[in-house]
């Protein structure tokens, strides 16, 4: 059986290829949008994986360190360590801020962790170069996306930190790369006031008769000292014993310590259902709009091509061609256009994904689903043209 | 005159468009008979009913009364007697149009072989039959060309080959020489006569073309929806 659609596509290959490329770029944008969503979900999973925690202990009635601000006293972890089933507990702070200076300034999530090896919760799990934090001050481990190099100095607030290690795929839920620094430095960076504010606070404290009583000279010094120390962290990351039940341990901590505890599943839910839900809906809307636009383009092109062949279609019908042969020809052309478009789109999306500032994850499953959707859209889009072709009266081929 | 039951025979064919006061009687009892191997002319002024008659003969417009026989088959008698008109057009009727209307994306061979291919004949067999016809029409050397690469006369010969590929008992030719100069127009009529004899096909040529009218042995003139048979000069053929 001869393929009329294939012959027509070959005959008008230039027209089909140009239209296919245009459609393909649109499909490429659609695949990239899906890739951006997948990247956000993967970033969220990676964020949880990299924390190395089974439980996140945060301020009561908050959603934890990634979705809401949370403040805990930094000595709480000792009490948590006594709960049965807890293997390790470590303080952690998270603060998204500008790091570096001048032309090298960039946005990053500064993570304060207790110096130690990769086994401690909160530490970057895998380094690609250098070593983990071992000293209490002025060292940093940075994600490769920050552009920092081993041995380079980076300024965070007032202090300079030397990059002693590099890691990869450690990003916040917003896609910002992470910079790990010692916990004490991070606490200082998070809550540090500028010099003028410190001087004004000291003056006000000294002027307060309640703190500066004659005959009690030690009171003022004690109050001023307490004001310069920051005992807060954002969360305590808990790693459990191998056979401990996360829900049971979380329940114990909630009951005795009056804190909010999130398990891995709950934290996943917070990140995906709350933190990136709006972005996901936004992307979904884009996907719907792009699909409609693609369908409209295919429908318009196929309809125009069909109208250009009305006389030939009338002749085909007059000489006895079945309606289903004509409908098949138009539908195959639409699907052919979709296949050209999908191939161009897939190649384009793969080529431009690495230059996106945020992680774009192109999954083979999404490509397969995308291909099927493109085929369905093309089939539906061809219906308008098929309807026009089938309404052609074969008598139109006979003049008069 | 054709023998009853052979070629095409029409008796008392009527066609009315519309109903009531606005009804138009386009055909008012047309009689016509063409024998196998015969080429007749169908002439008449604009609006006389030529196209309507051609559409009725081509089974794309249903008459409102009368009788039509194609070969030995009764195809219309106050209603279609053939359930599949599409298959009737494909297998029993060949069409040649004013413009060749070749399928622009198929080469010459496939344009001719298309009908049997669509009917399920193996491609190789259909193409062999097409090449044989193209050779008979002296266009075998253009078998691989696309329609846009052919001259007007070559295109019309390919269209005739397409009309003949299924060996139909009748060919309806609608102004087949209109776009051609005298020499090519006469060549097309010669070909139609040769093919009609060779394949025992009845050919009806609807035309306004003064150049070719003298070539017909018999002419049907249609006026006010009725046919009047006249003897032609048959000049060119003698």
pLDDT at A308: 86
pLDDT at B124: 93
Contact by Cβ (8 Å): B68, B99 = no
Q: What are the distances in angstroms from CA A10 to CA A18, A313, A331, B84?
A: 13, 18, 16, 33
pLDDT in tens, A344-388: 999 999 999 999 888 899 999 999 999 999 899 889 889 999 999
What residue in B sits closest to A323 (Cα-Cα)? B86
pLDDT in tens, A236-276: 999 999 999 999 999 999 887 778 999 999 998 888 888 88
Q: How many CB atoms lie within 10 A of CB A95?
A: 20
Based on the fold, state whether residues A239 and A377 are members of the same structural domain.
Answer: no
* Interface contact A322, partner B, CB < 8 A: yes
All domains in chain B, ordered by first residue: 8-231 (3.40.50.300)
* Interface contact A329, partner B, CB < 8 A: no
CB pair distance less than 8 Å for B97 and A395? no
Q: How many CB atoms lie within 10 A of CB A307?
A: 13
Contact by Cβ (8 Å): A263, A55 = yes
Ranges of chain B with pLDDT below 70 = 1-5, 234-238
Q: For residue A330, how far is the Cα from the chain centroid?
A: 41
Domains identified in chain A, total number: 2
- For the segment A215-243, the average pLDDT, to the nearest whole number, is 83
Based on the fold, state whether residues A105 and A171 are members of the same structural domain.
Answer: yes
A304 vs A5: CA distance, rounded Å? 15
Task: Report chain A residues whose CB lies below 8 A from the CB of B174.
Answer: 398-400
Task: Evaluate whether residue A123 is within a structural domain.
Answer: yes
Position with higher pLDDT, B159 vs A227:
B159
Distance from CA of A339 to the nearest CA of B (A): 20
Q: Which residues contact A288 (CB under 8 A, 6 or more apart)?
A: none
The owner of tokens 């040649």 is: B96
Based on the fold, state whether residues A248 and A312 are members of the same structural domain.
Answer: no
* Interface contact A393, partner B, CB < 8 A: yes
Half-sphere exposure of B218 (CA within 13 A, CB side): 17
B114 vs A322: CA distance, rounded Å? 12
CB pair distance less than 8 Å for B97 and A398? yes
Based on the fold, state whether residues A283 and A376 are members of the same structural domain.
Answer: yes
Half-sphere exposure of B139 (CA within 13 A, CB side): 32
Residue A283's domain spans which residues? 4-43+277-397
DSSP secondary-structure letter at A176?
A: P
pLDDT at B5: 42
Half-sphere exposure of A7 (CA within 13 A, CB side): 15
Question: What is the spatial order of strands in the sheet that B24-34 belongs to?
Answer: B24-34, B8-17, B65-70, B73-77
**Number of CB pairs < 8 Å for A and B?**
85
A59 vs A61: CA distance, rounded Å? 6
Based on the fold, state whether residues A337 and A237 are members of the same structural domain.
Answer: no
Task: Evaluate whether residue A53 is within a structural domain.
Answer: no
**Kind and range of the H or E run holding B223:** strand B218-223
Mean pLDDT (chain A) is 87
Q: For residue A357, how far is the Cα from the chain centroid?
A: 11
Sign of the dihedral defined by the CA atoms of residues A104, A106, A108, A111, in that order: positive
pLDDT in tens, A83-112: 999 999 999 999 888 887 777 788 899 999
Based on the fold, state whether residues A250 and A364 are members of the same structural domain.
Answer: no
Mutation target for A interface from B118, B123, B156, B171: give the one with most A CBs within 10 A: B118
Task: Evaluate whether residue A389 is within a structural domain.
Answer: yes
Task: Evaluate whether residue A108 is within a structural domain.
Answer: yes
Task: Evaluate whether residue A345 is within a structural domain.
Answer: yes
Based on the fold, state whether residues A34 and A104 are members of the same structural domain.
Answer: no
Task: Evaluate whether residue A52 is within a structural domain.
Answer: no
What ipTM goes with this model?
0.81
What residue in B sits closest to A394 (Cα-Cα)? B60
Based on the fold, state whether residues A118 and A244 are members of the same structural domain.
Answer: yes
Mutation target for A interface from B17, B89, B103, B111: give the one with most A CBs within 10 A: B103
A112-130 per-residue burial string, b: 16 or more CB within 10 A, e: under 16: bbbbeeeebbbbbeebeeb
* Interface contact A315, partner B, CB < 8 A: yes
Q: What are the distances in angstroms from CA B210 to CA B47, B178, B190?
A: 18, 10, 16
First and final C-alpha spacing in chain A:
34
Share of chain A above pLDDT 70, in %: 98
The closest alpha carbon to A48, from A251, A265, A333, A213, belongs to: A265
The alpha helices in chain A, defined as continuous H runs, are: 4-11, 13-51, 76-81, 183-191, 195-207, 217-228, 246-257, 264-269, 277-307, 310-318, 323-352, 364-390
For residue A180, what pLDDT band results from cuts at 50, 70 and 90?
A: very high
Torsions phi, psi for B153 (to 5 deg): -65, -40
Task: Evaluate whether residue A199 is within a structural domain.
Answer: no
Q: What are the distances in angstroms from CA A34 to CA A27, A157, B47, B138?
A: 11, 37, 62, 60
The pair of structure tokens assigned to B173 is 């030719």
pLDDT at B162: 92
pLDDT in tens, A6-23: 888 888 888 888 988 998
DSSP secondary-structure letter at A174?
A: T
Based on the fold, state whether residues A287 and A374 are members of the same structural domain.
Answer: yes
CB pair distance less than 8 Å for A320 and B87? yes
Based on the fold, state whether residues A150 and A39 are members of the same structural domain.
Answer: no
pLDDT in tens, A47-69: 888 888 999 999 988 988 888 88
Task: Report chain B residues whose CB lies below 8 A from the CB of A319.
Answer: 89-90, 95, 115, 162
pLDDT in tens, A146-178: 989 999 999 888 889 999 999 988 888 878 899
Based on the fold, state whether residues A250 and A105 are members of the same structural domain.
Answer: yes
pLDDT in tens, A181-204: 999 889 888 776 777 887 888 888
Contact by Cβ (8 Å): B148, B156 = no
Which candidate from B50, B89, B101 shows the least CB-CB separation from A320? B89
A112 vs A184: CA distance, rounded Å? 7
Which candidate from B55, B104, B114 shows the least CB-CB separation from A398? B55
The pair of structure tokens assigned to A240 is 């459990």
pLDDT at A400: 54
Q: A217-228 and A195-207 helices cross at what angle (nearest 10)?
A: 150
Torsions phi, psi for B46 (to 5 deg): -60, 140
The pair of structure tokens assigned to A40 is 């956000």
pLDDT at B170: 92
Contact by Cβ (8 Å): B9, B69 = yes
Based on the fold, state whether residues A182 and A66 are members of the same structural domain.
Answer: yes
Task: Evaluate whether residue A207 is within a structural domain.
Answer: no
Task: Report chain B residues whose CB lies below 8 A from the CB of A2.
Answer: 106, 110, 113-114, 117-118, 123
Distance from CA of A22 to the nearest CA of B (A): 23
């Amino acid at each position: 059986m001869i393929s009329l659609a294939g012959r027509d596509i070959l005959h008008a290959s230039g027209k089909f290829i140009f239209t296919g490329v245009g459609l393909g770029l649109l499909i490429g944008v659609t695949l990239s949008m899906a890739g951006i969503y997948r990247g956000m979900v993967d970033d969220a999973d990676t964020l949880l994986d990299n924390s190395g925690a089974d439980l996140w202990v945060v301020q009561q009635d908050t959603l934890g360190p990634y979705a809401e601000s949370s403040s805990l006293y930094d000595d709480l972890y000792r009490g948590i360590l006594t709960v049965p089933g807890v293997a390790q507990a470590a303080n952690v702070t998270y603060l998204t801020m500008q790091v570096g200076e001048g032309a090298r300034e960039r946005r990053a999530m500064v993570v304060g962790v207790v110096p130690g090896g990769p086994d401690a919760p909160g530490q970057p799990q895998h380094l690609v170069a250098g070593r983990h934090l071992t000293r209490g001050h002025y060292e940093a481990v940075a994600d490769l996306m920050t552009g920092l190099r081993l041995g380079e100095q980076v300024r965070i607030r007032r202090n300079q930190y030397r990059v002693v290690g590099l890691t990869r795929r450690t990003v916040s839920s917003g896609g910002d790369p992470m910079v790990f620094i010692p916990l004490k430095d991070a606490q200082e960076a998070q809550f540090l006031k500028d010099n003028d504010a410190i001087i004004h606070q000291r003056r006000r404290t000294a002027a307060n008769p309640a703190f500066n009583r004659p005959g009690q000279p030690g009171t003022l010094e004690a109050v001023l000292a307490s004001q310069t120390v920051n005992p807060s962290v954002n969360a305590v990351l808990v790693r459990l014993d191998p056979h401990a039940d996360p829900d049971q341990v979380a329940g114990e901590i909630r009951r005795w310590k009056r804190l909010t505890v999130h398990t891995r599943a709950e934290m996943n839910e917070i990140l995906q259902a709350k933190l990136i839900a709006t972005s996901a809906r936004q992307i979904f809307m884009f996907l719907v709009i792009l699909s409609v636009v693609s369908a409209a383009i295919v429908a318009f092109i196929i309809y125009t091509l069909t109208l250009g062949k009305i006389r030939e279609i009338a002749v085909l019908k007059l000489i006895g061609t079945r309606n289903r042969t004509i409908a098949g020809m138009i539908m195959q052309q639409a699907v052919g256009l979709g296949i050209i478009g999908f191939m161009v789109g897939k190649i384009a999306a793969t080529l431009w994904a690495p230059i996106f500032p945020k992680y774009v994850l192109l999954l083979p499953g999404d490509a397969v689903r995308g291909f099927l959707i493109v085929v369905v859209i093309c089939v539906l889009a061809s219906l308008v043209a098929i309807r026009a072709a089938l309404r052609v009266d074969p008598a139109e081929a006979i003049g008069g | 005159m054709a023998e009853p039951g052979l070629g095409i025979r029409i008796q008392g064919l009527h066609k009315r468009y519309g109903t009531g006061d606005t009804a138009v009687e386009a055909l008012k009892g047309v009689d016509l008979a063409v024998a196998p191997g015969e080429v007749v002319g169908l002439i008449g002024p604009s609006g006389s009913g030529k196209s309507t008659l051609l559409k009725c003969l081509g089974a794309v417009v249903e008459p409102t009364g009368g009788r039509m026989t194609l070969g030995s088959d009764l195809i219309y008698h106050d209603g279609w007697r053939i359930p599949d008109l599409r298959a009737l057009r494909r297998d029993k009727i060949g069409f040649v149009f004013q413009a060749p209307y070749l399928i622009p994306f198929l080469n010459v061979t496939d344009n001719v072989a298309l009908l049997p291919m669509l009917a399920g004949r193996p491609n190789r067999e259909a193409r062999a039959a097409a090449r044989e016809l193209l050779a008979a029409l002296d266009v075998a050397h253009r078998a691989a060309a696309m329609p846009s690469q052919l001259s007007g006369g070559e295109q019309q010969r390919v269209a005739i080959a397409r009309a003949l590929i299924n060996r139909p008992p009748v060919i309806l030719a609608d102004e087949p020489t209109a776009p051609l100069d005298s020499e090519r127009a006469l060549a097309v009529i010669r070909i139609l006569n040769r093919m009609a004899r060779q394949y025992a096909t009845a050919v009806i040529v609807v035309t306004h073309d003064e150049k070719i009218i003298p070539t017909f042995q018999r002419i049907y003139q249609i006026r006010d929806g009725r046919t009047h048979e006249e003897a032609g000069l048959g000049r060119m053929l003698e």
